[in-house]
């Protein structure tokens, strides 16, 4: 538990960071944010968590809505968003949008305004279709920006990307904050090797935004970022270029290797996780748009057959032994496909998964605070002053 | 944005209005409310909006629930109600009631009490069946009134009609507040011509409560209210009588004409919108009650075929040119059937609709404040004192 | 309406009760709670209701979530839980869990943690399968206890049993608080006869937790508790043993009789209600686990046929006349199967039901306060001090 003094120090750290461009802005991709902005999200997340541990209220909204839009079912992300909103004083309202509706721009603009009269934040998860998710979010953000400018809305709702086809910033930043705490500080990450690797799963169509998000963010911290996947399971090349540029700028490296074995060797962190090949995801989007559902089934069948060729891409105890001192930090965004537990053959051995249960839950526990920090930084022009004021008032959360 | 001084003036205006019968009462139809009461709703709505623009909290409930009951799907109305509740400090709980359940009185009474132990307001939308919606709302309101009297409930929940088979007061009042602001004050409405006209839509069974609500309310302001529809698309004659009586009392007029062209000529406001004929809605209700679903399909088919005879009832650029200076205010409750965009042939040309996008969104933006004003006036015996107090305290909404 | 002085007296009464084991604990079954703890729940419920009647805020949480998990549909229990949470300042988030998912332990543990980052309370209703409901709740409670201990969660969410396969404590305690108020005090219950009897219903598979909850709780107050059901409709023998032991300790009695007539004779309270035989519920659980859905249908058919043999087990006017002065208090957890109203032949005559409508609604009205009291007692180490403080501050609920 953080002491009052530690929270004060974090607020002072925040004060030195330039966050003025975050004010009244949106959060789409980590690589569109400056280093100061990324550091500010981590810092505010830590401060909010510290205050909650100390039963200090962080309810900065007296009223206001947080709108959530989920294009597919999501218990975890939904609860993380609801938790973040609640922590700040916003009430969540869910907007049901069916996956099948790939709405045209005008409808999106109208709906975005109609649900936003009292909205301070809109959280969207739309990761199902390549080329669609981010575009949809951008349209929503532009629509409410216009609505605010035109006097339709009394406030400008902030958009928080809860997972799109390109990035999953609330996941990658929760993951990174976990890593920072695990290794005792961001300054200890230089030179650490992280293996972001594909792993076998008996399911199909898992989004690419997790591996993309991880390499796009972790490459900023001077780490040795290694991506591994079977042939054909390429991710977006744009994001690989982002990772390469980040690595260069941060004094780290970004490499691709061909086997899980090579990726795991001497790794400090391993992140074995399944995803669908980019090409398959592209084909899938087209087939859905054209309503060719028989072809979709065929695509799924072919994809699963192809997956099955790579059942040996799985995080075993043997592989774990090859990591740094045999003790790499195992990470996953959850839920994982656990061999012998949730499926016959999956991403990870049960014994490995079980050993990392508490770290995995802690990893997930940062997400609500990351989301809350993104909202906070978009709503206060001087976030450090506001947090200092909350700390000083020290209004109890449970009275 | 309203200045503090303007808000003070609105509060003084409110103080002169007699609202004592609204206290602990319900809101069913605009024509059951006095002129003072109607003016009070507009005034409180403006005050609440002004306070929100100025970041002044209007959270008058420390806790309490707003129950919403929607007999059919409704994103917009649901968000408007949720926004209004949130603005005042109430948390929304949705009660799922299936369309197919036309519940008998005792079940309604029981459920109404069971969900209302902490309810300060109940908002209901039930517009699907002629002779049912208002009856259902009345039963709910009577049930909770009894529950309060018998000591079952600690408070008397206020019923707000979010659309019934007869009236749609939150829509018509949001529409009217938009008109008042657009024309620079209620005193400027005298003699203005509004054309409430039927328009073609490829869908079927749209409720009559919008046109009924519009003529029932707009006829109170000395306007020239003109209703136009094809033969067979009659609305409830009771409401036409209300409009006629209102017009007489207010020094305006209420007329029916046979063509869209005649209605639009020199109109200051046009409201072209589809609805189902009253006779069809009545037949539909009977068929649903009798479970005659094959006959229902047949009715829908016949109705759509009949609609198709009137595709020329559509709001074109040509028609718009015939309005006052070619610049009538175009209105719609949204969503509209836009020709060439949301359907092949519909209620309005896309170019007309697009030109009025911002006014249309503003029109919709008044609804949450209208709903909040209805709740507010039912909960405070001296609403002007309460609002003056909120203004004086000026507690920030975003702290 | 309670006076300030009466509330002060209740707080003084609470101060003398030992509630220290309730702090940061869960509420599973009434018989696991001491007499002081049971009395404390009633007392806090009365105090919270008294404060609400007097428009005094009891919002002790500035923010925080109440998670609700319902394994089957439930309007009433859902609203009771939502009302209780709202009364204390918690926002409800529903977790959808399908009935068909009988999840294994690890999944439950993971989900329990993932939804609980900001959770102060988890309310679960899982009454469908013998041997499952309580087990599931225990797993959830243990999981979040661990999560709290491991630093995953910042607070320990309290579990409130909203109905399991064994007990239905929020129902039985609301029922008992109604009885205490009806008879003018707990001291007047000694020697009063309550008939908890099976009654015919045309539906199948109703849970046993209501009769079990009633005999398990009512036997603690020196009453003459009589259980009656047709042969084959046995409830859990463990709970019968609890009732027998309770009766002995409290100076009352617990008896089983074979007919409704015998149970009703000179009864002060009657509680006629349908339930499924324990053996059928056990078989049903097995069939569901094995996915034998054809056999399930067959079981339902057999069960309904068997029920139909006992249509004479119904609460008639004639039977009511045989109770104490013909005026026993009729109770039901609602909704009841009312002969000639909600079904052809059911649990109770319509005229009997109608005569007790207001008492039945009052009975139900205690439930939100009982739930709130359970939460309150788990969250404050000195509940009497906290309530005294709230009373002194007297912050208005409606400002």
The token pair that represents A54 in the structure block: 């100390």
Q: Which helix (H) or strand (E) holds B229?
A: none
**Arithmetic mean of pLDDT, C364-383:** 98
Buried/exposed A224-263: b ≥16 CB within 10 Å, e otherwise: bbbbbbbeebebbeebbebbbebbeebebbbebbeebeeb
* Banded model confidence at residue B22, pLDDT cuts 50, 70, 90: very high
Closest CA to A376 of A52, A90, A75: A90
Whether C49 has its CB under 8 Å from any CB of chain B: the answer is yes
Whether A61 and chain B come into contact, CB under 8 Å, resolves to: yes
Of A178-187, C66-75, C95-104, C154-163, the one with minimum mean pLDDT is C95-104
How high is the pLDDT of residue B97?
64
Q: What pLDDT, on the 0 to 100 scale, is given for residue B117?
A: 96
- CB-closest option in C79, C87, C396 to B114: C79
Q: Is A26:A378 a contact under the CB 8 Å cutoff? A: yes
Q: Closest by alpha carbon to B175, among B270, B283, B307, B277?
A: B270
Q: How far apart are CA B5 and CA A189, in angstroms?
A: 57
The mean pLDDT of C24-30, rounded to a whole number, is 98
Q: Chain-wide mean pLDDT for chain C?
A: 94
Rounded Cα distance, B295 and B301, in Å:
10
Which of C114, C118, C386 lies at the smallest CB-CB distance from A87?
C118
Average pLDDT over residues C217-239: 97
* Residue with the two structure tokens 């109608």: C354
Confidence check: pLDDT of C117 > 70: yes
Pick among C57, C106, C115, C118 to test the A interface (most A CBs inside 10 A)? C118
Confidence of residue C104 (pLDDT cuts 50, 70, 90): low
Provide the chain C residues 295-354 that lie in CB contact (below 8 A) with chain B: 334-335, 338, 341-342
Contact C267/C108 with Cβ under 8 angstroms?
no
For the cut 70, the answer to whether the pLDDT of residue B299 exceeds it is yes
Same fold, B4-166+367-393 and B170-363: yes
Show residues of chain B in contact with C49, CB under 8 Å: 154
Q: How far apart are CA B280 and CA A234, in angstroms?
A: 58
Interface test with C, best of A54, A83, A337 (most C CBs within 10 A): A83
Q: Return the pLDDT at C293.
A: 86
Q: What's the whole-number mean pLDDT along residues A276-285? A: 86
Within 13 Å of residue A266, how many CA atoms lie on the same side as its CB?
Answer: 5
- At A66 the three-state DSSP class reads strand
Q: Give me the residue from A86, A342, A362 closest to C91, CB to CB.
A: A86
Closest CA to B89 of B64, B72, B121: B64
Q: Is C89 on the interface with B (CB under 8 A)?
A: yes
Percentage with pLDDT > 70 across chain B: 98
Taking 3-state DSSP, the helix, strand and coil percentages for chain B, each rounded to the nearest 5, stand at: 50, 15, 35
**What is the Cα–Cα distance from A281 to A127, expressed in whole angstroms?**
10
Dihedral (C-alpha) B290, B292, B295, B299: value to the nearest 10 degrees? 50
Return the residue of B nearest to C88 by Cα.
B63
* pLDDT reading at A101 higher than 90: no
Chains contacting A with at least 3 CB pairs below 8 Å?
A: B, C
A101 and B CB contact within 8 Å: no
The SS3 call for residue C234 is coil
pLDDT of B43-81, one tens digit each? 999 999 999 999 999 999 999 999 999 877 778 889 999
pLDDT the model gives residue C62: 96
What is the 3-state secondary structure of B254-318?
Answer: EEEECCHHHHHCCCCEEEEECCCCHHHHHHHHHHHHCCCHHHHHHHHHHHHHHHHCCCCCCECHH
Q: Where are the alpha helices (DSSP H) in chain C?
A: 4-15, 35-53, 75-88, 105-114, 133-149, 169-182, 209-218, 237-250, 260-264, 278-289, 293-308, 317-321, 350-355, 357-365, 367-379, 383-393
Question: Rounded to whole angstroms, how far apart are CA atoms A124 and A164?
Answer: 8
Interchain CB distance below 8 Å, C79 and B93: yes
Contact A165, A129 (CB under 8 A): yes
Query: Which among C87, C338, C364 is the nearest to B63, CB-wise?
Result: C87
Report the relative pairing of strands B91-96 and B119-125 from DSSP bridges.
unpaired
pLDDT tier for residue B100 given thresholds of 50, 70 and 90: very low
Beta carbon pairs, A and B, within 8 Å:
84
Nearest 10 degrees: Cα torsion B307, B310, B314, B318: 170
Contact C151/A at CB under 8 A = yes
* Nearest Cα residue to A76 out of B105, C114, B82, C258: C114
Q: Give ipTM to 2 decimals.
A: 0.94
Q: Determine the distance from the C-alpha atom of residue C101 to the mean position of all C-alpha atoms in its chain, rounded to a whole number.
A: 24
**Is pLDDT at A102 greater than 60 in this prediction?**
no
Residue C101: is its pLDDT beyond 50? Answer: no
Q: What pLDDT is attached to residue B10?
A: 98
Q: Which residues of C362-382 are buried (b: 16+ CB within 10 A; e: fewer)?
A: bbbbbbbbbbbbbbbbbbbee
Instruction: Report the residue of B61, B63, B91 to disrupt the C interface, i.e. the one with the largest count of C CBs within 10 Å.
Output: B63
Inter-chain CB proximity C114 and A79 less than 8 Å: yes
Which CATH number describes the domain made up of A174-363? 3.40.50.1370
Q: What is the pLDDT of residues A8-48, one digit of tens each?
A: 999 999 999 999 999 999 999 999 999 999 999 999 999 99
Mean pLDDT for A225-251 is 97
- pLDDT band at A104, cuts 50/70/90? low
Q: Which residues contact A164 (CB under 8 A, 6 or more apart)?
A: A28, A124, A125, A126, A127, A133, A134, A137, A209
Residue of chain C whose Cα is closest to the Cα of A350? C106
Average pLDDT, integer, range A63-81: 90
DSSP B251: T
Res. A285: pLDDT tops 90: no
Chain C contact set for A53 (CB, 8 A) = 154
Of C60, C118, C151, the CB nearest to A399: C60
Chain C CB within 8 Å of residue B63 CB = yes
Averaged over C139-162, what is the pLDDT? 96
The arithmetic mean of pLDDT across residues A365-390, rounded, is 98
pLDDT at position B105 over 80: no
* Interface probe with B: pick from A117, A391, A395, most Cβ of B within 10 Å: A117
CA distances from C220 to A77, C81, C188, C189 (A): 45, 26, 13, 10
Contact call for residues C47 and A69 (beta carbons, < 8 A): no
In sequence order, which residues have a C-beta less than 8 Å from that of residue B75 and are 6 or more positions away? A95, A96, A111, A114, A115
Fold of A4-166+366-393: Rossmann fold (3.40.50)
**Mapped to the 3 state alphabet, what secondary structure does C88-156 carry?**
HCCEEEEEECCCCCCCCHHHHHHHHHHCCCCEEEEEEECCCCCCCHHHHHHHHHHHHHHHHHCCCCCCC
Lowest mean pLDDT among A105-109, A304-308, B56-60, C294-298: A105-109
**pLDDT of the residue at C330:** 98
Gap between the Cα atoms of B92 and B156, Å rounded: 17
Average pLDDT over residues A115-131: 92
Q: What is the per-residue pLDDT across A154-210, written as a single tens digit (0 to 9) for each?
A: 999 999 999 999 999 999 999 999 999 999 999 999 999 999 999 999 988 889 999
What span, in angstroms and rounded, lies between the C-alpha atoms of B5 and C321? Answer: 70
DSSP state of B100: T
Q: How would DSSP label each residue in A132-159?
A: THHHHHHHHHHHHHHHHHTTSSSS-PEE
Q: Determine whether C326 is exposed, middle or buried from the number of CB atoms within 10 Å of its CB (0-12, 13-18, 19+).
A: exposed
* pLDDT greater than 50 at residue B146: yes
Kindly report, residue by residue over B148-166, the tens digit of the pLDDT.
999 999 999 999 999 999 9
Rounded to an integer, the average pLDDT of A266-281 is 93
Q: Which residues of C touch A81 (CB under 8 A)?
A: none
- Of the residues C58, C59, C63, the best mutation for testing chain A's interface (the one with the most A CB atoms within 10 Å of its CB) is C63
Q: pLDDT tens across B317-332, in order?
A: 999 999 999 999 999 9
- Among A369-373, B115-119, C12-16, C97-101, the minimum mean pLDDT is found in C97-101
Structural domain spans, chain C: 4-166+367-393, 174-363
pLDDT at C6 over 90: yes
SS3 content of chain A, % helix, strand, coil (to 5): 50, 15, 35
**In this prediction, what percent of chain C has a pLDDT beyond 90?**
83
pLDDT at C378: 98
In this predicted structure, what is the pLDDT of residue C107? Answer: 85
DSSP label of C301: H
Element (H, E) at C266: none
Cβ within 8 Å, pair A61-B397: yes
Question: In the 8-state DSSP scheme, what is residue B157?
Answer: P
* B contact chains, 3+ CB pairs < 8 A: A, C
Q: How confident is the model at residue B101 (pLDDT cuts 50, 70, 90)?
A: very low
The verdict on B88 touching C (C-beta cutoff 8 Å) is no
Q: Could you write out the three-class secondary structure of C163-199?
A: CCCCCCHHHHHHHHHHHHHHCCCHHHCCCCEEEEEEC
Looking at domain B170-363, does it have CATH number 3.30.390.50? no
Mean pLDDT (whole number) for B279-290:
85
Classify the C-alpha dihedral A340-A343-A346-A352 as positive or negative.
Answer: negative
pLDDT at residue A106, as a whole number: 72
Place of tokens 């219950």: C189
User: What is the pLDDT, as a whole number, of residue C168?
Assistant: 97
Average pLDDT of B92-100?
72
Q: What would the CATH number be for the domain defined by B4-166+367-393?
A: 3.40.50.1370
**Contact between chains at A75 and C95 (C-beta distance less than 8 A):** yes
Residue B124, SS3?
strand
Burial C293-309 (b: 16+ CB within 10 A, else e): eeebeebbeebeebbee
Residue B375 contacts residue B82 (beta carbons within 8 Å): no
Closest residue on chain A to C151 (Cα): A362
pLDDT score at B129: 78
């Amino acid at each position: 538990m953080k002491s009052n003094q530690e929270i004060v120090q974090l607020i002072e750290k925040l004060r030195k960071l330039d966050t003025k461009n975050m004010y009244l802005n949106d959060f789409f991709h980590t690589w569109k944010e400056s280093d100061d902005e990324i550091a500010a999200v981590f810092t505010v997340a830590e401060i909010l968590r510290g205050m909650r541990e100390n039963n200090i209220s962080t309810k900065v909204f007296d009223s206001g809505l947080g709108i959530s839009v989920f294009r597919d079912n999501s218990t975890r992300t939904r609860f993380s968003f609801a938790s973040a909103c609640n922590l700040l004083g916003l009430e969540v309202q869910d907007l049901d949008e069916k996956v099948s509706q790939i709405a045209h721009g005008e409808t999106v603009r109208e709906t975005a305004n109609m649900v936003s009269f009292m909205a301070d934040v809109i959280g969207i998860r739309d990761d199902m279709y390549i080329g669609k998710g981010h575009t949809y979010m951008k349209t929503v953000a532009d629509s409410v920006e216009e609505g605010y400018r035109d006097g339709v809305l009394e406030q400008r709702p902030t958009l928080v990307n809860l997972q799109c086809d390109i990035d999953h910033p609330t996941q990658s930043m929760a993951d990174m904050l976990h890593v920072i705490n695990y290794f005792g500080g961001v300054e200890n990450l230089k030179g650490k090797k992280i293996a972001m690797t594909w792993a076998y799963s008996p399911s199909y169509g898992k989004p690419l935004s997790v591996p993309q998000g991880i390499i796009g963010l972790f490459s900023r911290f001077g780490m040795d970022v290694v991506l591994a996947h079977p042939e054909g399971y390429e991710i977006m090349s744009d994001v690989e270029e982002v990772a390469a540029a980040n690595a260069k700028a941060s004094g780290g490296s970004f490499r691709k290797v061909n086997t899980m074995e090579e990726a795991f060797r001497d790794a400090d962190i391993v992140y074995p996780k399944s995803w669908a090949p980019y090409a398959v995801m592209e084909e899938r989007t087209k087939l859905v748009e054209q309503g060719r559902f028989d072809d979709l089934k065929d695509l799924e069948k072919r994809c699963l057959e192809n997956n099955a060729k790579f059942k040996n891409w799985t995080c075993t105890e043997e592989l774990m032994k090859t990591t740094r001192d045999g003790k790499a930090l195992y990470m996953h965004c959850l839920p994982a496909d656990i061999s012998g537990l949730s499926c016959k053959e999956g991403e990870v051995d049960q014994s490995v998964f079980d050993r990392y249960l508490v770290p995995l839950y802690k990893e997930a526990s940062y997400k609500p605070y990351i989301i809350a920090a993104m909202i906070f930084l978009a709503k206060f022009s001087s976030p450090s002053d506001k947090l200092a004021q909350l700390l000083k008032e020290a209004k109890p959360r449970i009275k």
